[in-house]
Amino acid sequence: MLLLSPLADLLDLQDGVIARRQVLEIAGESDATLRRRLRRGEWVTMHPGVYINHNGPRTWRQRSWGAVLYAWPAAAVSRLPGTSGGFLATC
């Protein structure tokens, strides 16, 4: 992982999917910046409070991240089926 910025690193870790609370708290972005990204089409809403950084087809992993981030903290993904490794949703 490249250490570009907290926001870029988080988007890389979570396959381009991010929650509003992560944008505001972890990445330190403002609500106005978040709205600007949505207005410009840089990000697209997946679920209320969950965004993806493209408007193309979503992969299985991106749909999984979206679901986990939307339902957080009630849901968490700890391992992907069919993989030797796994990933943990961090918010």
Query: Structure pTM?
Result: 0.77
Asked whether 73 and 22 are in contact (CB, 8 A), the reply is: no
pLDDT tens string 3-43: 678 899 999 999 999 999 999 998 889 999 999 999 999 99
- The pair of structure tokens assigned to 72 is 């957080």
- Give the sign of the dihedral formed by CA 1, CA 89, CA 25, CA 33: positive
**Minimum mean pLDDT range among 44-48, 57-61, 76-80, 84-88:** 84-88
- pLDDT band (50, 70, 90) for residue 89: very low
Domain ranges of the chain: 6-71
Torsion of CA 6, 67, 71, 49, to 10 degrees: 60
Confidence of residue 2 (pLDDT cuts 50, 70, 90): low
